[in-house]
Amino acid sequence: MTSSPTVHLAAPQTHGQPKRALVLPGGGLRLSYQAGILVALEEAGLSFQFMDGTSGGSLNLSMLLSGLSPEETCQRWRSLNLADTVSFLPLKEYLHVETLEGVGDADGFRNKVLPHFGIDFDRIHQVDAVLANYNVLDYGNKAVKTIPHRLIDEDMVIGGMSLPGVFPPVRKEDSIYLDTGFVQDANLLEAVKHGAEEIWVLWGLGNTGTYRGGVLNLYVQMLEVSANTALNNQLDTIRDLNARIEQGVGPYGQTRPIQVRVIRPDYPLPLDPDLYLCKINHTTLIEMGYADGKAYLRRLDELPAEIPANPTHMHDPLQGIRFQAPLQGKLDLLADQSDAAHDIQINLTVHVNDVNRFIAGPEHEARVTGHLSGSIFGSLKMIEEGRFTLECLTDKTRRIVYALSYSQDGQHYNLLAEQVLHDDQGLDLWNDLSNLSLNLFKVNAEASELVANGTLRLPLGSVKDWIQSFHVTETTGLMEKLSVTTRFARSILGGVYDAHI
């Protein structure tokens, strides 16, 4: 008799703990963000008794059910060749616009993406460790169809990701199947029917008050309206159920009110075209999801038990700028008597979500995500929390500090990297820009202990990548992009900018 395949994040309910459900909604290829949250949940020791996937979220669900760990899932996203996701219809079909069912087909996903992700349907069918459902739209009956993991197949995963106008629908057994995105993008009520008392929703679609024109924006906004409205309606239903549960007449076996945990970004994630245009990559999205997951877990005990109204609501997108800092250096452990310095690499992404606030504000702060690598860190370590701070010492002197926190073997550490930009006589600007001092602190409840110091630098060979990584967000037209870039550069460099640029 063979044992049930292992599923990470799945475990039987323990005494005194709520029955948990993991809901993985859609959101396109941006859902590498979701994989980063999964790593944070596993590190927190959370386990689930029910899982549900919709649209692109079914890819992450399928990887988990196929036995991949959250970290392995992240690695599959990092190494995904985006060209493999693109597959065109036969040329003759584009000549008949009046009958065209999509801008491409799903052959790339069938033949390349699903195998790359290690999705194994035979293995999924054997899973006993957790109950899981997939969601597709039964077009003929105009209803969401839920498919247990023991019955899921490649056709239904593809059908569940076939947005109207993007991929043709999947025709199978006299039925037509599509993505449920224009009906709902997460199925919380299915989790409720399976007795869930705590539902964790890893949300990636946007939800703001900004309304834009343009074909792509209008299409995406229709999806966002449908998905968020459906979610809020489901939450209203759960609130009504909670009132019945408190009266002892809950219909699905819950003995305590159902709690809903929604982890989402503070600002909308970039759309899929930004991935294809290299304005962002899956590594960055994963690290954003990991940091957001960690931030949510840190404040978990402070969150109210009541289900919040419109919990996926985000800040309206504003003019901003995003860039990467690929740094290398050496770190000396103070307790190491061998005088051997450890080689390290630190890859950071700075997210200035509101460039006007960054420039005008007294603190000049921005968010940082990224990862650390090198033998001293063991395996790759994603940053749990990071801040980029600019301090204007004088008009010609600026101090920049990267404050980064991570954990290793249950111990928390803070890493501070600092550089000073000063307009000395001579051409020393590059030296200031490319060199940083480094201090590593072990964080305890009582105090922080300095355990290592060293230096970092921006290697000359990485300058091209560093420059190309600068992307202005929420602007229209070249002149507006140049204006934002210039104002940001002047705020960073001060008098150095006017003297040298």
* Cα separation, 223 vs 118, whole angstroms: 29
Closest residue by Cα to residue 331 from 420, 432, 413, 445: 413
Point out the catalytic residue in the list 32, 47, 55, 469: 55
Point out the catalytic residue in the list 105, 179, 274, 292: 179
**179 included as an active-site residue:** yes
Q: Range with the lowest mean pLDDT among 150-154, 232-236, 433-437?
A: 433-437
Residue 2, pLDDT score = 57
What average pLDDT does range 151-178 have in this prediction? 96
Q: Is the pLDDT of residue 309 over 90?
A: yes
Residue 108, pLDDT score = 96
Q: Which sequence spans correspond to the domains of the chain?
A: 20-299, 320-499
Q: 406 and 383 in contact (C-beta within 8 Å)?
A: yes
Residue 421, pLDDT score = 83
* Cα separation, 286 vs 74, whole angstroms: 7
Q: How confident is the model at residue 356 (pLDDT cuts 50, 70, 90)?
A: very high
Please give the full DSSP string across 155-167, using - where no structure is assigned. Answer: HHHHHTT--TBTS
C-alpha radius of gyration, the chain, whole number: 24
* Cα separation, 308 vs 235, whole angstroms: 9
Beta partners for residue 391, in sequence order: 399
What average pLDDT does range 263-271 have in this prediction? 97
Residue 242, pLDDT score = 96
Q: How confident is the model at residue 375 (pLDDT cuts 50, 70, 90)?
A: confident
Q: Find the helix or strand (DSSP H, E) in which 139 lies.
A: none
Please report how many Cα atoms fall inside a 13 Å half-sphere around the Cα of residue 203, on the Cβ side.
Answer: 31
Closest residue by Cα to residue 443 from 384, 378, 368: 384
Q: How confident is the model at residue 428 (pLDDT cuts 50, 70, 90)?
A: low
What average pLDDT does range 150-163 have in this prediction? 97
Please give the full DSSP string across 446-486, using - where no structure is assigned. Answer: S-EEEEEEEEEE--GGGHHHHHHT-EEES--SHHHHHHHHH
- Domains 20-299 and 320-499 are alike in CATH topology: no
Q: How confident is the model at residue 499 (pLDDT cuts 50, 70, 90)?
A: very low
The tokens of 302 are what? 């402070």
SS3 187: coil
The CATH architecture one would assign to domain 20-299 is 3-Layer(aba) Sandwich (3.40)
* Cα separation, 43 vs 49, whole angstroms: 17
Closest residue by Cα to residue 280 from 471, 463, 117, 458: 471
Strand runs labelled E in 58-142: 131-138
What average pLDDT does range 290-300 have in this prediction? 97
Residue 297, pLDDT score = 98
**Torsion-angle region of 165 (φ positive above 0: left; ψ -120 to 50: alpha; else: beta):** left
Beta partners for residue 333, in sequence order: 452
**Distant-in-sequence, close-in-space partners of 227: CB < 8 Å, separation ≥ 6:** 25, 26, 181, 184, 185, 186, 205
What average pLDDT does range 437-458 have in this prediction? 91
Between the alpha carbon of residue 115 and those of residues 27, 62, 84, 379, 450, the distances in Å are 20, 11, 11, 25, 46
What mean pLDDT, rounded, does the chain reach?
92
What average pLDDT does range 449-462 have in this prediction? 90
φ, ψ of residue 168 to 5 degrees: the values are: -65, 155
Q: 316 and 303 in contact (C-beta within 8 Å)?
A: no
Q: 70 and 108 in contact (C-beta within 8 Å)?
A: no
Q: Is the pLDDT of residue 391 over 70?
A: yes
Q: Is the pLDDT of residue 494 over 70?
A: no
In CATH, the number for domain 320-499 is 2.40.128
Residue 1, pLDDT score = 43
Q: pLDDT tens digits, residue range 110-150?
A: 999 999 999 999 999 999 999 999 999 999 999 999 999 99
Residue 444, pLDDT score = 86
Q: pLDDT tens digits, residue range 167-182?
A: 999 999 999 999 999 9
Please give the full DSSP string across 346-375, using - where no structure is assigned. Answer: EEEEEEES-HHHHHHSSS-EEEEEEEEESG
Q: How confident is the model at residue 83 (pLDDT cuts 50, 70, 90)?
A: very high
SS3 221: helix
Q: 417 and 327 in contact (C-beta within 8 Å)?
A: yes
Residue 427, pLDDT score = 53
Q: Range with the lowest mean pLDDT among 237-251, 415-429, 481-495?
A: 415-429
